[in-house]
Structure 1
């Protein structure tokens, strides 16, 4: 296979059921049991243990649904400070090997190890070492995917979960992608997968038969992405300085809210929390968005963008009340959220290093 892009050695590391695994590690009484982090009486599941996943419990699932699927499910309150603490330890391990680390969240990241600090030829070996160190230092397991670009590494990391790794060797990319079910392609969601099924597209070989023009007509801008990735083409580099684009806070309420005074109190509280987070990181923003989820799970958002940055808790609160007045319904509210975007972080220039990669051979995968 000829590669119309630079050949890199990319690892995608993904912690296994991270939040739930942390809770099971810290509390031995929870080990081997079906647990859900978050949720409770009115919330949604933030993470589910593998024991819970066997019953169909998934993240973002309403607690009521999760409990129906798994009656013996144990709900555990989240401890984000603890998750961040462990995430920092894991990233320190990554940086022992390379500074080209692009975190996607607390529990996953891309690493470019084409040139690495330990001069290890095999990316596969590096992934094994990293996973072993994570286990030794945190007691948690991680899975990894290794290949020539971020897309392939991301797909690969999901194949041998949990506590495994998968290398998609450069000379096996074409065969691998042709046999891969389309719902396993990163970037193909459930709705898109179902549309592909109706078109007779079930695996990569079916997708590959479609021309670029056909895919663009069928899927818009995403069509070009599908055309490229099914051929193993994905040129995005690992970006160690990801720019934060928004900061958000939200709350799901134990009882539905309808009283205006209660809404005011919650908006005031959210404004204070948002301001505190922004101050801590010296972040300012120009766009404020109010998110409302009603009792029937219908969702409403409304934003306002200013020429100058928001700068105070009072401004967030006042503006959130103005946005609240624009709501389409007077129905009971189960969730409120505030988020700030168009941040000053987007204006900070990031220095990126373009690597010149003298890739000699494939065996080092």
Structure 2
């Protein structure tokens, strides 16, 4: 007899254009207007865009220069993370009224496991509606939600009826729902992977499901096994209330491109000091040092080295970074440098999960 999937009731709550919405909430003059948070400087990058700005194609991670070309009347607003954190705490307080199984992904989104909840409500759909209503009442902001049997599907579902909506994918609907989706909608399938799938004739979940495990592992390595499972609705990851930090980083975008390694080292020393401070504040150390380089043409390169011992001091971090910097010659001038530390000393060995083979089971559970 095959093992059955553990059926959970998972809600993914995602705030709508969070940073931009907070700014519009605090400043009535910005409401109904196209605004971008961040990105105002010559080399700035947009952190968030209001829905009014998104109509013009403005998106997060876009350069401010490009954003202004797309939307000449775009209003740039300086980021205010202290304020965003304050609102985020109000929202999380609402989550904990329903369950202690809350896994924040960022300031504006989180997973909630409401299989068993503090309200004794058997309907995850009704709980999501209540939570969104309370968020609106307490903060004045809109939230969207996805409700399903696992984190993967819930996250995809939360994007279906955005903004200010929700979507429930019940147990019997999961596989048919995934089969109809374009693979670019799958969480974890980025631009490069999407294009590779398209080249292989994989455009929808149904196309992906038709491929064997061997085929997917041959073309996508370990990720192939992940795709093979999730398209069948198999995703056993639990909602983890205390997410272990896996890496810590700092980076800097320069006002002018730099090509001299001497100037780069000066900047990297400053960045290494920032990383050291962050590590010390969290009482962490790490074994893997990664140097991030973004060139003038926006191409990105990373160089990493893993050490036998944990390090946290600026001097030791910089020593490794120097080695990575001179590992090969720069392609051209550089617009951004960053340092990250991973394989931290807070990691615990992963437990092996017993593989589950099917979600095709009709459940008499209210969703």
Quick check: TM above 0.5? yes
Q: Is 1:6 the counterpart of 2:2 in the alignment?
A: no
The CA deviation at 1:361 is 5.7
CA distance in 2, matches of 1:196, 1:300: 23
> Which residue of structure 2 aligns with residue 90 of structure 1?
91
Change (3 A) 1:233 1:317: closer
Report the more deviating stretch, 125-134 or 226-235: 226-235
CA distance in 2, matches of 1:99, 1:319: 41
The CA deviation at 1:260 is 5.3
Report the more deviating stretch, 83-92 or 119-128: 83-92
TM-score normalised according to structure 1 size: 0.88
Does the Cα contact within 8 Å between 1:169 and 1:362 map onto a contact in 2?
Answer: no
Q: Is 1:65 the counterpart of 2:66 in the alignment?
A: yes
Change (3 A) 1:97 1:335: same
> Which residue of structure 1 aligns with residue 180 of structure 2?
179
CA distance in 1, matches of 2:213, 2:312: 47
1:117-152 C-alpha deviation (Å, 9 max, x unpaired): 121111011111111222222221111000111111
> Which residue of structure 2 aligns with residue 23 of structure 1?
23
For the residue of structure 2 that corresponds to 1:202, the secondary structure is coil
Runs of at least 5 residues in structure 2 that lack an aligned partner in the other structure: 352-360
Change (3 A) 1:117 1:294: same
Change (3 A) 1:262 1:75: farther
CA distance in 2, matches of 1:147, 1:296: 41
CA distance in 2, matches of 1:320, 1:204: 42
CA distance in 2, matches of 1:196, 1:218: 9
CA distance in 2, matches of 1:199, 1:122: 40
Runs of at least 5 residues in structure 1 that lack an aligned partner in the other structure: 351-358
CA distance in 2, matches of 1:241, 1:294: 36
For the residue of structure 1 that corresponds to 2:346, the secondary structure is helix
Change (3 A) 1:276 1:160: same
> Which residue of structure 2 aligns with residue 301 of structure 1?
302
The CA deviation at 1:360 is 11
Does the Cα contact within 8 Å between 2:146 and 2:156 map onto a contact in 1?
Answer: yes
Q: How many residues align?
A: 356
Q: Is 1:129 the counterpart of 2:124 in the alignment?
A: no
> What RMSD over aligned residues (CA atoms) do the two structures have, in Å?
2.6
Does the Cα contact within 8 Å between 1:300 and 1:327 map onto a contact in 2?
Answer: no
> Which residue of structure 2 aligns with residue 364 of structure 1?
366
Change (3 A) 1:323 1:360: closer
Change (3 A) 1:202 1:258: closer
Does the Cα contact within 8 Å between 2:38 and 2:78 map onto a contact in 1?
Answer: yes
1:289-348 C-alpha deviation (Å, 9 max, x unpaired): 222222222333333333333243333344434433335217432111111112111149
> Which residue of structure 2 aligns with residue 52 of structure 1?
53
Change (3 A) 1:23 1:192: same
TM-score normalised according to structure 2 size: 0.88
Does the Cα contact within 8 Å between 2:22 and 2:141 map onto a contact in 1?
Answer: yes
